[in-house]
Amino acid sequence: MKSSFFAIGTLLAAFIPSVLAQDAISVLRANNLNIFADKLEAEPFLQGIINGRDDVQLYAVPDDVYLSGDCAPPALPSGPQRRQSRVDPRMASQTAKKPPQPLSKRTDRRRPPKGKGPKKPSTPLPPSNFEELISVIDETFPGGYANLGPDQPQRFISNLAGSFGPGATTFRQVTTGGGDVVRTIGGPFKYNKGIIYVVNTCFTLPQPLSTTFTNSPIASIFAEAVTDSGRLSFFESTPGLTVLAPVDPPAGSPRPIYNPDDYTIVGLLYVTQLYPGETYTTLSGRTVSVEFDPATGARSINGVLIEKGNVPVQNGVLHFLAGDIWDDTPTE
């Protein structure tokens, strides 16, 4: 499901004095983003947020995308899902923050014995390419779609992608609900409260874990294990879960019998929080560790690459892993 999204984030570039007096709607219209401007004008709640900050990003959708029907609002669902989707266009305001620095910037924090000198620092992290976008609308707002606990709004991850170097094409992309990736195709345009990017399509709203598995059917065996455990309700209602789902093994391989608790951590661990060298404890009490490739910065869990990460679900985040992180998983 696609929905118009107004995303607000940290502005890292300097303003040009000539645009300081121009508000967002004026700059949107000056760049022929009229339908997006109309939608923003119809949302005084969002305008109040935007006008009350000075670190704002907007991700605007071109008129032709709206006219193509790609961003048509979804049909209103019936039953318990109705509240989660009925005001999709409002679930867009976001603040953003740069990822926190790893503790001691990845040096060993233990004090060495007397006379032994300092511990040798671990391999330093590469420069971070990720920015965390944080929705200001949580489940307390009418129609809220997130269940991340008190004061825990929904998160998305933004990063630079494409090629780098002279003459290269670089763009910003945001991983939205279901793992769909939205990328910038225009901008940035500066205005008095921040910056505007033009994106190729509308954001997809986060869905329940089971729906996300259905929309990205690359971990069907693990998804079945969650359902067969009889604890799907727990996995879809517990605030702030991080799920590490192994993708399906190659055809003809033994079928693994997963214990979902071995792959689930209580706490929101996006790539921005997965620090190399750190360990985390799963629901079953097992310990996972994070490593990275110094050349690319790609994260691994217990030596297994994150194949598709930062997929937001309504109550947490899902990372698809390139394989199993445990050597002792039983098979059929």
> What contacts 320, CB < 8 A, 6 or more positions away?
179, 216, 218, 219, 245, 246, 247, 306, 307, 308, 309, 311
Q: Angle 180-56-89 (CA atoms, 0-180°, nearest 5)? A: 50
pTM, whole model, 2 decimals?
0.75
Q: What is the topology classification, in CATH, of domain 209-321? A: FAS1 domain (2.30.180)
Q: For residue 206, what pLDDT is reported?
A: 86
Spatial distance between the Cα atoms of 153 and 316, rounded to a whole number of angstroms: 10
Q: For residue 55, what pLDDT is reported?
A: 73
Residue with tokens 């997130």, as numbered in its chain: 146
Q: For residue 219, what pLDDT is reported?
A: 98
Domains 2-101+126-204 and 209-321 in one fold? yes
Q: For residue 120, what pLDDT is reported?
A: 36
Domain ranges for the chain: 2-101+126-204, 209-321
Q: For residue 121, what pLDDT is reported?
A: 35
Residue ranges of the chain with pLDDT lower than 50?
A: 4-19, 73-126, 138-143
Q: For residue 20, what pLDDT is reported?
A: 54
Spatial distance between the Cα atoms of 288 and 300, rounded to a whole number of angstroms: 10
**CATH annotation of 2-101+126-204:** 2.30.180.10
Instruction: Encode pLDDT of 155-183 as tens digits.
Output: 888 888 876 667 667 888 888 887 888 89
Q: For residue 228, what pLDDT is reported?
A: 97
